[in-house]
Amino acid sequence: MTHAISSKVITVLGATGSIGVSTLDVVARHPDRFHIFALTANRNTEKLFDQCQQFRPKYAVMVDESAAEKLQGLLRNAGSETEVLSGTGALESVSADAAVDYVMAAIVGAAGLLPTLAAAKAGKRVLLANKEALVMSGRLFMDAVHEQGAELLPIDSEHNAIFQCMPSSTKNGQVVNNLAGVERILLTASGGPFRTWELSQLQNVTPEQAVAHPNWAMGRKISVDSATLMNKGLEVIEACWLFSVSPEAIEVVVHPQSTIHSMVSYNDGSVLAQMGNPDMRTPIAYGLGWPERLVSGVEPLDIFATARLDFERPDLARFPCLQLAYEAHAAGGYATIALNAANEIAVQAFLDQSIGFMDIPQLIEAVMQSAESGTPNQLEDIIIQDEDSRQAASFWLKKKKTH
């Protein structure tokens, strides 16, 4: 396949998800600038097949082996030259491949850690949506970025907004922000679908109510995380690593309209905000184009229709997950791995209707208490803590069932 010399070669991890689909939407608007090397998914064969037909990647990866076989059959019948790989190792290969310039890290949860880390270790431009990977690996991930000269660009809308509100440049192949004069980062949160609900009402919310986000259309896991405010907790930790700041420098601001995507407050009294419609194609296009700006397909913000901008403090009593995230970050790397693993198990159990909404923080708190103290400095220790915490979470669920 031929493509313009200057075009960038991209692997999209988690291509069939909400971020993956938005990424491909932006890519499709710039056929001369971008070329898809690999698309990956867990097991959604039909969607990945359609995407392969449209973008003609060299590789398609399905983690699930039988899904991979099915996809290969479909593609062969359609006369496609895309080669299908399967298994988690293949995710790392298509991230680290020498032909790749940019990796969109948009797998959900801990499953994204190894391929995202592989992209950083291979010195790629890493477009980071998969916040769980950074929450789990923190220092190790940032060290890989620095040592290998990877270009890390945040895709999470808030972190992308913060990035946009600080001067950025390239230094020794790295993307760096100039934090001179920064006093505070104002990390906005929509507050989720239960922002105004009483604690007593929160006991009985259903998965359908929890995934119905007022402003953003997202995958189910992050939608539940937004409802519990765990998403904001993970984002505080994410911001600490991305911008090398302490949690005290970050203020969570509930802003129900989701028009401002975050702000940076400076020592001269200036507060810079990035605004726009809540559509992930804006931060995705920014990451793909940086330092240039690219057309994203997002409707311009109608400032006259934006009648009001409200701001509130988060309520940690009704949303204890945010508090747990602060505690985990203060306790160290092992605790944040436990926080993330327990949250993933808890959210799935809630979606399966085996536990209630307010059981989510209880399970996480219990699992965090069983975490090692301190911070792991090698990948193996991260993986072991993740597995141990998942086991502890499963055990908690079993115990709850029998009581």
* List of residues contacting Mg ion (CB under 5 A): 156-158
Instruction: Decide which of ligand NAD, Mg ion, none touches 16; Cβ closer than 5 to 8 Å per partner kind.
Output: ligand NAD
Choose the one of Mg ion, ligand NAD, none that binds residue 41, judging by a C-beta under 5 to 8 angstroms depending on kind: ligand NAD
The item of ligand NAD, Mg ion, none sharing an interface with residue 254, based on CB under 5 to 8 Å by kind, is none
Annotate 89-117 with DSSP letters as a single string: HHHHHHHH-TT-SEEEE---SGGGHHHHH
16 is in an annotated binding site: yes
Is the Cβ–Cβ distance between 111 and 222 less than 8 Å? no
Tell me 336's DSSP state: H
Rg (CA), the chain: 21
CB of 158 to Mg ion, least distance (A): 5
CB of 13 to ligand NAD, least distance (A): 7
User: Nearest distance from residue 172's CB to ligand NAD, in Å?
Assistant: 28
Which one, of 91, 98, 82, lies nearest residue 63 by Cα?
Answer: 91
C-beta of 154 vs 333, nearer to ligand NAD: 154
Cα angle value 351/48/132 (rounded, 5°): 45
Query: Which residue's CB is nearer to Mg ion, number 230 or number 349?
Result: 230
DSSP secondary structure string for all residues of 214-249? SS----HHHHHHHHHTHHHHHHHHHHHHHHT--GGG
Nearer to ligand NAD, 80 or 343 (CB): 343
Which residue is closest to Mg ion by CB? Answer: 156
Residue 19, annotated as binding a ligand: yes
Query: In the structure encoding, which two tokens stand for residue 214, read together?
Result: 């007022």
Q: In angstroms, give the least distance from the CB of 323 to ligand NAD.
A: 20
Which of ligand NAD, Mg ion, none lies near 219, with the C-beta cut-off 5 to 8 A by kind? ligand NAD
Nearer to Mg ion, 71 or 222 (CB): 222
User: Is 158 flagged in the annotation as binding?
Assistant: yes
| Alpha carbon separation from 91 to 174, 253, 388, 397 (Å, rounded) | 24, 36, 24, 31
Tell whether 130 is in a known binding site.
Answer: yes
Per the annotation, does 156 bind a ligand? yes
Residue 231 CB partners (closer than 8 Å, separation 6+): 189, 192, 222, 225
**246 Rama class: left (phi>0) / alpha (psi -120 to 50) / beta:** beta
Torsion of CA 312, 350, 332, 366, to 10 degrees: 110
Catalog residues that contact ligand NAD under the rule CB under 6 A. Answer: 14-20, 41-42, 44, 63, 106-108, 111, 129-132, 156, 216, 218-219, 221-222, 280
Which CB atom, from 321 or from 372, has the smaller least distance to ligand NAD?
321
42 binds, among ligand NAD, Mg ion, none (CB under 5 to 8 A by kind): ligand NAD
User: Quick one: 123 or 219, whose CB is closer to ligand NAD?
Assistant: 219
Nearer to ligand NAD, 131 or 255 (CB): 131
Question: Is position 132 annotated in a ligand binding site?
Answer: yes
Closest distance between ligand NAD and the C-beta of residue 268, in Å? 31
C-alpha to C-alpha distance for 85 and 87, rounded to whole angstroms? 7
If one counts every other C-beta atom within 10 angstroms of the C-beta of residue 300, the result is: 7
Instruction: Confirm whether residue 297 is marked as ligand binding.
Output: no
Residue 97 CA to residue 118 CA, distance in Å, equals 10
Q: Which residues are annotated as a binding site for 1-deoxy-D-xylulose 5-phosphate?
A: 131, 157-158, 190, 213, 226, 231-232, 235
Q: Which residues are annotated as a binding site for Mn(2+)?
A: 156, 158, 235
